[in-house]
Amino acid sequence: MNIKSHHAVLLRELSITASVLILLFILFFRGNIGQFPSHTHAWTQSDRYALSLGFVDNGLDLFHPATYNLQPIYQPSEPVEEEKGITRVDLPLPDYLAAIVMTVTGNKNPVVFRSIILIMGFIGLMFVFALLRNMGIDFVTSLFSTIFVFSSPVYTYYLDGFIPSVPAFSLACAGFFFYWKYLKHSHFRDFILTIGLLTLAALIRMPFIMLFMVVAATQALFNLRNKSLLLKESLIILFFLSVFSAYFTYNQYLGKVYGSMVIEQLLPARSLEELKTIVNQTLKNWKLVYFSAFQYLVMVIALTGYAVAIFRKKLIDSAVQRFLVVLVMALLADIAYFVAMARQFPAHDYYMLDSGFLPVLFLTLIGLSAIKFSQKRLFVFGRYLIQLVLICFIIYSSYKIQNERYTSKGWDSVEITTANFSDSQKLCEQAGIASDERVLVIDAYTTNIPLILINHKGYTVLNTSSSEINESLNFNFDFIAIQNRFLSSDVLRNAPRLRSQLLPIANNGKIGLYRLTDNSQAKSYPELMGLEHQNRIFSMVKYPGHDLNTIPMNTNFILIDTIMSLPVTDSLVMVFECKASLMGENKGGLHFVMDLSNNIDNQNFKYYDSFTLNPFFEHGTKQAKIEVILRIPNIEQKNVRYKCYIWNNGSNDLIYNDMKLQIVQYLKHTF
């Protein structure tokens, strides 16, 4: 085949691969490409989105990355003169590219950031295909392998996300493409590109420095007898290592002067027993997120390929052998990284992308190519058919996992917080709050999500303990935002002084805005919520005064069960209040439940929300004022069954009185 024909074939193959990937992108990402950071690791993903927005705000100053949060998790060595949210972070290149596009287009929607990551991931997958074809692996197997990489559930999930692991992985794949070319053809420019791309990957995501070091070390071993080549390679390695070291030093400076929102130290297991527990927990949490069951089957087949090649003494050529040495060394380095950061792995699936993902994948894919089949048409057809069936199952497995991971859970405080703060910027504008005023979010659950949505820099309280709330009241804020859902159970319960100090200025049924004042007369829950300014649609009072009643154990205690047609709006809330005394121990399993349904005319509408009441009786508390507010969804149906009850499945011994249940529509947002 002449060069022109070869290029035409290669272009056709690249076009087919790109088309298949684009179709898969449409299938997987059409529903969430514009979605705000959510679901698994929404905390970390929203921090990255905040970095991008920070670059837009600071005039694209790459060397002073900042988020909306003014209180770093890791404090600077000395207090800063002016809090700006600047933080230590690995080179935020994807975040910066997204900020450039946002600045040019004037569009700050998450779709910009997600698209940048997706494009980088696409380029990485194309380099995977190009590498395999360059190694002489046939087109169908190379395409199968590229889709195999795409369909790894952990990779698919973050492919249109915000975490820099995917761009770093793509750069590493590009680096290994040129490294293979260097091993095969010895063109020194390919070595320069290899080291340069691996350096950039390590700058974006520091664990990728392991690949850099492995390539550097193995090349030194390969060239011990070739002093001149060893010197040339060493000079290139030292140059790029100095670039990495320069940014690393600057990053340390940022952490020292401004603090950091990201982890700064190693977190190994504290004992061998703990390491065993961590390994088991990591596998329990993520083994089918790293790879699907069918992908593990392919890995077993790949191991068989290596075994057969060794048995037949038909090991692949020397360039492939060297490439395999690098991959095995990289895998060993990644095991060392796992040991060094062990305590992070059970809670962070994307750490796999930063470490063992690349060597495991390429070892698997090269192992598959080591299996030699007869070239008779029937055998070739059979092999392609098996690959087609396997890849269909692999794609389906990943698609199913993505749907599960993007399904909102009623108990997910991060998703609840995101929904509650969705209209918070508008509420601030209605309340006349200036754009430069700083906010304190007392029940934030993440460091940046509520701040991004409310569009104000400020501070977040992640753990609503008494000490953390009281400490936060000393921050340099101008106003306070608290989610209605958690006002009583998480905030007032732990900081009762706020009943006197909070001055309500606005409430939209989801969050309340407050000014902090000097101590005054304590306010009631309805006063803090602004309920007296709203439209009361339904009200029920049971057992007023001293009429004591017992909540039945291990059963549902019905409060209301009625059919109503309420206004079609998202400003409705269910408010529940009562005085209660716990007679025995706090056994857990005590919930206020709102169950909405409509089975009339085949509507099949169902909505369920519950709120645990046991926190009101924590720390030995025996008597409590229970106060709960739940949002009623926007229901475009009539004759909805509204059922509310106390679910005492924990068999708590509880008596109560002064029970009140209301349905309120928030019409007036500012007071």
CB 247 within 8 A of CB 205: no
Distances (CA, A) of 127 to 120, 124, 162, 291: 11, 5, 21, 21
Give a yes or no: residue 3 inside a domain. no
Last residue of a domain, one of 524, 554, 569: 524
Per-residue pLDDT of 368-423, as tens digits, reads 887 776 677 777 788 889 999 999 999 999 999 999 999 877 778 899 999 999 99
Please, which pLDDT band fits residue 596 given cuts at 50, 70 and 90?
Answer: very high
Query: Which residue shows structure tokens 């809670």?
Result: 347
The sign one gets for the Cα dihedral 459, 461, 466, 521 is positive
Tokens of 94: 């994807």
Give a yes or no: residue 540 inside a domain. yes
Give a yes or no: residue 192 inside a domain. yes
Same domain, 311 and 360: yes
Total count of domains within the chain:
3
Please, which pLDDT band fits residue 5 given cuts at 50, 70 and 90?
Answer: confident
Same domain, 503 and 545: no
Among the listed ranges 2-11, 86-95, 128-137, 150-159, which one has the minimum average pLDDT value? Answer: 2-11
Q: What are φ and ψ of residue 361, in 5° steps? A: -65, -50
DSSP sequence for 517-571: -S--SPPPHHHHHTGGGSEEEEEEEES-TT--EEEPTTSEEEEEEEEE---S-S-
Give a yes or no: residue 471 inside a domain. yes
342: Cβ–Cβ under 8 A, 6 or more apart, which residues?
267, 268, 269, 274, 275, 278
Please, which pLDDT band fits residue 657 given cuts at 50, 70 and 90?
Answer: confident
Pairwise CA distance, residues 135 & 132, whole Å: 5
Pairwise CA distance, residues 52 & 57, whole Å: 9
Give a yes or no: residue 650 inside a domain. yes
HSE toward the beta carbon, residue 222, CA cutoff 13 A: 19
Please, which pLDDT band fits residue 1 given cuts at 50, 70 and 90?
Answer: low
Same domain, 178 and 46: yes
Pairwise CA distance, residues 66 & 452, whole Å: 12
Same domain, 394 and 245: yes
Predicted TM-score (pTM) of the model is 0.93
Tokens of 80: 């800063």
DSSP sequence for 352-404: HHHTTHHHHHHHHHHHHHT-----SHHHHHHHHHHHHHHHHHHHHHHHHHHHH
Same domain, 460 and 593: no
Same domain, 382 and 430: no
81: Cβ–Cβ under 8 A, 6 or more apart, which residues?
none
Query: Burial letters for 573-603: b for 16+ Cβ neighbours within 10 Å, e otherwise?
Result: bbbbbbbbebeeebbeebbbbbbbbbeeeee
Question: How far apart, in Å, do the first and last CA atoms of the chain sit?
Answer: 80
Same domain, 327 and 454: no
Please, which pLDDT band fits residue 566 given cuts at 50, 70 and 90?
Answer: confident
pLDDT value of residue 134: 95
Domain with residue 592: its CATH number is: 2.60.120
Per-residue pLDDT of 598-650, as tens digits, reads 876 666 788 999 999 999 998 889 999 999 999 999 888 788 999 999 999 88
DSSP 127: H
Same domain, 228 and 88: yes
Same domain, 335 and 454: no
Over range 48-73, report the average pLDDT: 97
Per-residue pLDDT of 137-192, as tens digits, reads 999 999 999 999 999 999 999 999 999 999 999 999 999 999 999 999 999 999 99
Q: Which residues sit opposite 665 in a β-bridge?
A: 535, 572
Give a yes or no: residue 435 inside a domain. yes
pLDDT value of residue 2: 66
User: Smallest Cα–Cα separation from 656: which of 619, 618, 600, 616?
Assistant: 616
pLDDT value of residue 238: 98
pLDDT at 543 over 70: no
Same domain, 401 and 452: no
Angle at which helix 188-204 crosses helix 93-105, to 10 degrees, equals: 80
pLDDT value of residue 65: 98
**Which domain covers residue 639, as residue numbers?**
534-665
Same domain, 512 and 615: no
Last residue of a domain, one of 498, 524, 550: 524
The distance from CA 432 to its chain's CA centroid, rounded to whole angstroms, is 33
CB 568 within 8 A of CB 655: no
Over range 351-377, report the average pLDDT: 88
pLDDT at 545 over 70: no
Give a yes or no: residue 5 inside a domain. no
Same domain, 59 and 154: yes
Give a yes or no: residue 399 inside a domain. yes
Last residue of a domain, one of 524, 555, 572: 524
pLDDT at 546 over 70: no
Per-residue pLDDT of 437-490, as tens digits, reads 999 999 998 999 999 999 999 999 999 999 999 999 999 999 999 999 999 999
Cβ atoms within 10 A of the Cβ of 73, count? 14
* Region for residue 166 given its phi and psi (left: phi exceeds 0; alpha: psi -120 to 50; beta: otherwise): alpha
Report the share of the chain in percent with pLDDT over 90.
Answer: 78
pLDDT value of residue 369: 82
